[in-house]
């Protein structure tokens, strides 16, 4: 059975991976704690993260005890993470349908 992660929302932007892990270790042994950051914005926190415990039984304990508790001055939300959706890959060519000849504005002559 796959390891179930917890979704942690409403995090303070100052919360770190280590701070998140330390906070959740009051429940049980934490396997990983990760704050999601925005690569386009100097790796600033997006205000949410994920925690996984060594023992899945600790997930419900964490939800019961830590949901709506305060971490780094913010009231956080704790819930089971939903499985990652399969999303279509992003097309980075500007969205339009371009020919396979390089797409530039120069049209090659064929004489």
Ordered by start, the domain boundaries in the chain are 6-80
Question: Domain spanning 6-80 has what CATH number?
Answer: 3.30.70.330
CA separation for the pair 94, 42 (Å, rounded): 24
For residue 3, the model assigns a pLDDT of: 77
- pLDDT (tens place) for every residue of the chain, 111 residues total: 567 899 999 999 999 999 999 999 999 999 999 999 999 989 999 999 999 999 999 999 999 999 999 999 999 999 999 987 876 776 665 555 555 555 556 666 676
pTM of the model: 0.75
Angstrom distances, CA of residue 19 to CA of 78, 82, 83, 104: 15, 23, 25, 49
CA separation for the pair 12, 81 (Å, rounded): 19
Radius of gyration of the chain (CA): 21
| DSSP label at residue 20 | H
């Amino acid at each position: 059975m796959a390891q179930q992660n917890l979704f942690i929302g409403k995090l303070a932007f100052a919360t770190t991976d280590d701070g998140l892990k330390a906070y959740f270790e009051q429940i049980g042994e934490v396997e990983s704690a990760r704050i999601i950051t925005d690569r386009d914005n100097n790796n600033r926190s997006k205000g949410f993260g994920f925690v996984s415990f060594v023992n899945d039984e600790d997930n419900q304990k964490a939800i019961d005890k830590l949901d709506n508790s305060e971490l780094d001055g913010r009231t956080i939300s704790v819930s089971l993470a939903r499985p990652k959706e399969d999303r279509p890959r992003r097309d980075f060519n500007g969205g339009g349908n371009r020919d396979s000849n390089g797409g530039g504005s120069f049209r090659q002559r064929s004489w």
